[in-house]
């Protein structure tokens, strides 16, 4: 992701002091895993009528400030949407009709907690859901935490250490169940238990990753303003894009924040120009939109996801909103 490339402000992390009883020191018990907060379902704000927006029609939008600086997101096999909230250090789950179902996490470095602040970028990490319904979340510590479909913590692992600090900036599952990760200047592929299967480089500043049903891998590189399509072994299949304002071009710093792909198209958030662009799997420009709907005012996309039915979801950072679109 490319939300902010400035040096981060150190996050304040509370320290827990364990009490001692009797005359001998006791071994502190491990911190309990915080349970997911199952919220009272909240209805999305329905459009008075479907609102055409360029190549898509808005279906619904949540109220403003429903989310705290939402960024990347993913959809699970049931069509639910999981959103990373940078402002709250949480992950929230929404139903396809816009009801908020649960929130899990909170600032911290214990199991089930997140610290999305990074040492390389302002915010780091990513989120992805497997075909089996498992959700994985990476944060600024490069921990990969696993959750079930109810938001319960299942376990965690960590990528191999490197000589210098590198950030995880994107995640996606392939249909084989392998987890694809952009970290530093490389793509890394991991098995279900965290074993490194393969990796490749050749990137400058990768910011987002998406994997299609044929296990083809799309990586957005912020430094070059370019999208590269690989096969699952890292062989380059095609490239397109450059910095600019035209169709199929992308802005400067903060260009990419998220990507999503289905069997028909690749969706790319061009945050610098406040728009979402749509491409064919070969890179042909198919259209864009730069509005959430006339009655919603300004558009500030931060993340994008596609559900199994082909609906497109977009988060708006500043307004704390989630919007659902369908192709017209």
Q: What's the confidence (pLDDT) of residue 254?
A: 57
Name the DSSP class of 191. Answer: -
User: Quick one: average pLDDT of 32-45?
Assistant: 67
Task: Map out the domains of the chain as residue ranges.
Answer: 37-327
Contact 154, 201 (CB under 8 A): no
Alpha-carbon distance of 255 to 181, in angstroms, equals 19
CA pseudo-torsion sign 227, 213, 130, 304: positive
Alpha-carbon distance of 311 to 75, in angstroms, equals 10
Mean pLDDT, rounded, of the chain: 85
Between 161 and 283, the more confident residue is 283
Say yes or no to pLDDT of 295 above 80. no
> Which CATH code, of 3.20.20.70, 3.30.200.20, 2.120.10.30, 3.40.50.2000, is assigned to 37-327?
2.120.10.30
Q: What's the confidence (pLDDT) of residue 26?
A: 47
C-alpha count within 13 angstroms, C-beta hemisphere, residue 294: 5
Alpha-carbon distance of 66 to 70, in angstroms, equals 9
Q: What's the confidence (pLDDT) of residue 257?
A: 73
Q: What's the confidence (pLDDT) of residue 55?
A: 86
Structure token pair of residue 204: 């400058």
Confidence of residue 149 (pLDDT cuts 50, 70, 90): very high
Alpha-carbon distance of 127 to 130, in angstroms, equals 10
Confidence of residue 53 (pLDDT cuts 50, 70, 90): confident
pLDDT single digits (tens) 153-211: 999 999 998 877 788 999 999 999 999 999 999 999 999 889 999 999 999 989 899 99
Q: What is the pTM of this model?
A: 0.87
Structure token pair of residue 295: 């009655």
- 3-class state of residue 147 by DSSP: strand
Q: What's the confidence (pLDDT) of residue 162?
A: 82
Alpha-carbon distance of 308 to 75, in angstroms, equals 8
Alpha-carbon distance of 111 to 34, in angstroms, equals 8
């Amino acid at each position: 992701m490319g939300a902010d490339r400035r040096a981060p402000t150190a996050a304040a992390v509370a320290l827990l002091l364990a009490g001692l009883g009797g005359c001998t020191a006791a071994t502190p018990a491990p911190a309990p895993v915080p349970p997911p907060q199952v919220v009272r379902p909240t209805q999305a704000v329905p459009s008075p009528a479907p609102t055409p927006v360029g190549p898509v029609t808005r279906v619904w939008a949540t109220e403003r400030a429903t989310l705290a600086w939402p960024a990347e997101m993913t959809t699970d096999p049931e069509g639910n949407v999981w959103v990373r909230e940078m402002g709250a250090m949480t992950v929230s789950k929404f139903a396809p009709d816009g009801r908020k179902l649960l929130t899990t996490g909170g600032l911290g470095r214990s199991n089930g907690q997140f610290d999305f602040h990074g040492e390389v970028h302002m915010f780091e990490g990513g989120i992805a859901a497997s075909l089996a319904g498992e959700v994985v979340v990476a944060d600024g510590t490069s921990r990969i935490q696993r959750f079930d479909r109810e938001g319960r913590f299942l376990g965690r692992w960590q990528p191999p250490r490197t000589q210098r600090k590198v950030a995880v900036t994107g995640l996606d599952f392939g249909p084989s169940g392998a987890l694809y990760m952009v970290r530093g200047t490389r793509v890394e592929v991991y098995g279900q238990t965290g074993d490194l299967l393969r990796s490749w480089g050749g990137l400058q500043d990768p910011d987002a990753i998406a994997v299609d049903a044929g296990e083809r891998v799309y990586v957005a590189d912020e430094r070059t303003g370019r999208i590269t399509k690989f096969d699952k072994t890292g062989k380059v299949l095609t490239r397109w894009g450059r910095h600019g304002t035209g169709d199929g071009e992308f802005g400067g710093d903060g260009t990419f924040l998220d990507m999503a792909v289905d069997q028909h198209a690749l969706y790319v958030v061009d945050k610098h120009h406040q728009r979402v662009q749509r491409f064919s799997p070969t890179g042909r420009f198919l259209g864009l939109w730069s509005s959430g709907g006339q009655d919603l005012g300004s558009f500030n996309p931060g993340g994008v996801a596609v559900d199994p039915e082909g609906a497109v979801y977009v988060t708006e950072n500043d307004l704390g909103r989630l919007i659902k679109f369908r192709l017209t």
